[in-house]
């Protein structure tokens, strides 16, 4: 059986730039700026004041509600300021500036006395664990689904071009990823899990197979974009379809990222809250690598370590398909920063936008079976009724349509704008 989904695209992977480079520690600078909004949901409330001494692992922001997550210091040192700073999404959020004393003295969580459903969920919440594939949804919320769940899927697909940090993690820390998977299974009360990983990573697949147990299957997925999108992953492995407007839990499935599973292992077995992550630095203008990097390190600090400084024409946080081009280098690394790309001009398309030629390539590429060309037209006219008819809210913003368009139509941008318009209209109603 071929584990795949319908439609999608085959962009050039460019993983070779960084895939052969093992994870090493990224040097943490004298100052870090830790965002209190590193997750989907309410920003955390600061628990420290200027002048306070902290350790790596000290709680500095408390989750503010059910859909929110705790934030921890990534260094030991002194709190210097609380301030609003830009984020990678182009918004602003409260940050805590900490002067790093270079000692990295650690504050750990209390060891769990017993490992069961309740204690693992409580630990995931306490450790501030969120979806680390980029979605940053608080993981404890996913571990308490309203509907009964029978299967856990671990997403190690890493289908975005350039990014290789999950690949290195699965290769170098396969046992830990599998252990995290077992802990997530305990939290969900399920007896079956699958780790899905694209078949262009045979050594990581072998490492995971060696480490896995009978009830955790390792599934080599067809290499195709967006294989790592939640709905496509579920269909590829289980042939189940998430209903329109529904959640994976509605069809008995929870999906977590491989790095999230690793973070759960670290929080339960090593009592370490989430304040650092694996991140890829890549692109033809980069000095490529895969790094363990502390949250709060600014993009500027990473940029200044690149040899191709003057060749950098674009900086992207995340992958080239779903990531965010950066207007400046002030944002800092968060729990969701999977990669920073430093691209030369030759790596992206700056050709002019021309009118649609009705070729339907965008529709043929869309994994959600939408009609991007009609959505684009309705979006340009702010035609809310038509946008709803065209099921715009099912768009997963994967970018396959824009990638395929010979007229260079900025389809995803148009769809995102229209979705915001629709949300505002909904708000008014
Ligand atoms: S319409 Fe949305 S889901 Fe379909 S290809 Fe474009 S971005 Fe992806
Ligand atoms: S791919 Fe581009 S040109 Fe072709 S139908 Fe879609 S929007 Fe129009």
Tens of pLDDT, residues 296-338: 999 999 999 988 778 899 999 999 999 999 999 999 999 999 9
Query: Which ligand 1 atom is nearest residue 397's CA?
Result: 7
Taking only Cα atoms into account, the Rg of the chain, rounded to an integer number of angstroms, comes to 21
- Reply yes or no on whether the pLDDT at 107 is more than 80: yes
* Residue 415 confidence (pLDDT): 94
Smallest CA separation from ligand 2 atom 8, residue: 356
Give the separation between CA 164 and CA 19, rounded to whole angstroms: 6
Query: 370 alpha carbon to ligand 1 midpoint, in Å?
Result: 7
Smallest CA separation from ligand 2 atom 7, residue: 373
Mean pLDDT of 228-248: 95
> For residues 17 and 76, is the Cβ–Cβ distance under 8 A?
no
Mutate to test the pocket of ligand 1, among 400, 413, 417, 419 (most ligand atoms within 8 A of CB): 400
Per-residue pLDDT reduced to its tens digit, 210-224: 999 999 999 999 999
Give the separation between CA 58 and CA 76, rounded to whole angstroms: 8
- Same domain for 138 and 240? yes
| CB-based burial, 55-89: b 16+ in 10 Å, e otherwise | bbbbbbbebeeeebbbbbbbbbbbbeeeeebbbbe
> Does 353 reside within a domain?
no
> For residues 267 and 124, is the Cβ–Cβ distance under 8 A?
yes
Per-residue pLDDT reduced to its tens digit, 179-210: 999 999 999 999 999 999 999 999 999 999 99
* Residue 143 confidence (pLDDT): 97
- Same domain for 303 and 371? no
**31-35 and 324-325 as β-strands: parallel, antiparallel, unpaired?**
unpaired
Q: What is the CATH number of the domain that holds 317?
A: 3.40.50.11540
User: What are residue 165's phi and psi, to 5 degrees?
Assistant: -70, -40
> Does 110 reside within a domain?
yes
**Nearest ligand to the C-alpha of residue 405?**
2
> 26: Cβ–Cβ under 8 A, 6 or more apart, which residues?
279, 291, 292, 293, 294, 297, 302
How does residue 350 score in pLDDT terms, banded at 50, 70 and 90?
confident
Question: Cα–Cα distances in Å, from 119 out to 2, 41, 107, 110, 114?
Answer: 38, 23, 20, 12, 7
**Nearest ligand to the C-alpha of residue 373?**
2
Give the separation between CA 208 and CA 186, rounded to whole angstroms: 19
Q: Strands (DSSP E) along 174-252, which ranges?
A: 192-198, 216-221
- Same domain for 216 and 154? yes
- Same domain for 253 and 388? no
Residue keyed to tokens 């350790």: 55
* Residue 135 confidence (pLDDT): 83
- Reply yes or no on whether the pLDDT at 426 is more than 80: no
Residue 34: strand pairing partners? 96
Q: What is the pLDDT of the chain when averaged over all its residues?
A: 95
Q: Of how many residues is the chain composed?
A: 429
* Residue 309 confidence (pLDDT): 79
Give the separation between CA 268 and CA 326, rounded to whole angstroms: 35
The continuous run of DSSP H or E covering 275 comes out as none
How does residue 257 score in pLDDT terms, banded at 50, 70 and 90?
very high
The continuous run of DSSP H or E covering 42 comes out as none
- Same domain for 18 and 158? yes
**Nearest ligand to the C-alpha of residue 366?**
1
Query: 315 alpha carbon to ligand 2 midpoint, in Å?
Result: 27
> Does 34 reside within a domain?
no
> Does 204 reside within a domain?
yes
- Same domain for 189 and 239? yes
Question: Cα–Cα distances in Å, from 114 out to 47, 77, 110?
Answer: 28, 33, 12
Mutate to test the pocket of ligand 2, among 9, 378, 401, 405 (most ligand atoms within 8 A of CB): 405
How does residue 108 score in pLDDT terms, banded at 50, 70 and 90?
very high
**59-62 and 71-72 as β-strands: parallel, antiparallel, unpaired?**
antiparallel
> 120: Cβ–Cβ under 8 A, 6 or more apart, which residues?
112, 143, 183, 184, 186, 187, 264, 268
User: What are residue 316's phi and psi, to 5 degrees?
Assistant: -120, 130
Query: Which ligand 1 atom is nearest residue 400's CA?
Result: 5
What residues line ligand 2, using a CB cutoff of 6 Å?
356-362, 372-373, 376, 404-407, 409
Query: Which ligand 2 atom is nearest residue 408's CA?
Result: 2
> Does 11 reside within a domain?
yes
- Same domain for 280 and 138? yes
Residue 254: strand pairing partners? 152
Give the separation between CA 294 and CA 312, rounded to whole angstroms: 24
Query: 361 alpha carbon to ligand 2 midpoint, in Å?
Result: 6
Write down which residue in 321, 346, 371 finishes a domain: 346
> Nearest Cα to 169, choosing from 319, 321, 279?
279
Write down which residue in 346, 379, 414 finishes a domain: 346
Query: 275 alpha carbon to ligand 2 midpoint, in Å?
Result: 43
Query: Which ligand 2 atom is nearest residue 404's CA?
Result: 1
* Residue 422 confidence (pLDDT): 86
Smallest CA separation from ligand 1 atom 7, residue: 397
| CB-based burial, 208-228: b 16+ in 10 Å, e otherwise | beebbeeebebbbbebbbbbb
Query: 232 alpha carbon to ligand 1 midpoint, in Å?
Result: 12
Query: Which ligand 2 atom is nearest residue 363's CA?
Result: 6
Helices and strands of the chain, counted as H and E runs = 13, 17
- Quote the pTM value: 0.96
Mean pLDDT of 75-94: 96
Range(s) of the domain holding residue 17: 1-24+106-346
- Same domain for 207 and 312? yes
> Does 14 reside within a domain?
yes
> Does 58 reside within a domain?
no
Smallest CA separation from ligand 2 atom 6, residue: 362
- Reply yes or no on whether the pLDDT at 84 is more than 80: yes
- Same domain for 393 and 418? yes
Write down which residue in 292, 321, 346 finishes a domain: 346
Give the separation between CA 290 and CA 24, rounded to whole angstroms: 7
* Residue 307 confidence (pLDDT): 81
- Same domain for 111 and 222? yes
The conformation of residue 130, written as its DSSP 8-state character, comes to B
- Same domain for 339 and 401? no
* Residue 429 confidence (pLDDT): 44
Share of the chain above pLDDT 90, in %: 92
- Same domain for 324 and 368? no
- Reply yes or no on whether the pLDDT at 370 is more than 50: yes
- Reply yes or no on whether the pLDDT at 408 is more than 80: yes
Give the separation between CA 283 and CA 315, rounded to whole angstroms: 9
Give the separation between CA 37 and CA 49, rounded to whole angstroms: 17
Query: 380 alpha carbon to ligand 2 midpoint, in Å?
Result: 14
> Does 43 reside within a domain?
no
Query: 249 alpha carbon to ligand 1 midpoint, in Å?
Result: 22
How many folded domains does the chain comprise? Answer: 2
* Residue 428 confidence (pLDDT): 46
Query: 128 alpha carbon to ligand 1 midpoint, in Å?
Result: 31
């Amino acid at each position: 059986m071929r584990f795949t989904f319908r439609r999608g695209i085959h962009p050039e992977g460019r993983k070779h730039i960084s895939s052969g480079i093992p994870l090493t520690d990224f040097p943490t600078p004298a100052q870090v700026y830790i965002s209190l909004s590193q997750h989907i949901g309410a920003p955390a409330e600061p628990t420290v004041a200027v002048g306070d001494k902290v350790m790596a692992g000290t709680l500095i922001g408390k989750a503010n509600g059910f859909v929110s997550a705790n934030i921890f210091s990534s260094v030991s040192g002194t709190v210097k300021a609380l301030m609003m700073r830009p984020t990678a999404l182009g918004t602003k959020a409260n940050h805590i500036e900490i002067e790093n004393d270079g000692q990295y003295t650690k504050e750990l969580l209390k060891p769990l006395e017993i490992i069961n459903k309740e204690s693992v969920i409580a630990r995931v919440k306490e450790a501030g664990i969120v979806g680390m594939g980029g979605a940053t949804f608080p993981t404890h919320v996913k571990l308490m689904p309203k509907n009964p769940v029978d299967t856990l899927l671990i997403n190690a697909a890493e289908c975005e071009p350039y990014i290789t940090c999950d690949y290195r993690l699965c290769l170098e820390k396969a046992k830990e990823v599998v252990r995290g998977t077992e802990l997530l299974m305990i939290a969900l009360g399920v007896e079956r899990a699958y780790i899905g990983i694209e078949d262009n990573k045979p050594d990581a697949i072998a490492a995971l197979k060696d480490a896995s147990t009978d009830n955790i299957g390792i599934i080599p997925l067809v290499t195709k974009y967006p294989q790592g999108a939640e709905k496509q992953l579920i269909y590829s492995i289980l042939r189940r379809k998430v209903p329109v407007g529904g959640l994976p839990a509605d069809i008995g499935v929870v999906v977590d990222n491989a790095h999230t599973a690793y973070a759960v292992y670290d929080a339960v077995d090593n009592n370490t809250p989430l304040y650092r992550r694996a991140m890829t630095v890549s692109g033809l203008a980069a000095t490529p690598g895969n790094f363990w990097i502390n949250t709060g390190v600014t993009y500027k600090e990473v940029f200044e370590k690149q040899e191709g400084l003057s060749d950098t024409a674009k900086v992207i946080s995340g992958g080239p398909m779903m990531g965010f081009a950066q207007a400046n280098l002030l944002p800092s690394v968060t729990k969701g920063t999977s990669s920073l790309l430093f691209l030369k001009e030759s790596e992206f398309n700056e050709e002019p936008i021309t009118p649609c030629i009705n070729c339907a390539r965008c529709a043929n590429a869309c994994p959600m079976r939408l009609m991007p060309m009609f959505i684009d037209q309705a979006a340009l006219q702010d035609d809310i009724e038509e946008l709803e008819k065209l099921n715009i809210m099912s768009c997963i913003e994967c970018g396959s349509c824009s990638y395929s368009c010979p007229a260079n139509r900025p389809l995803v941008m148009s769809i995102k704008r229209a979705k915001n318009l629709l949300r505002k209209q909904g708000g008014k109603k």
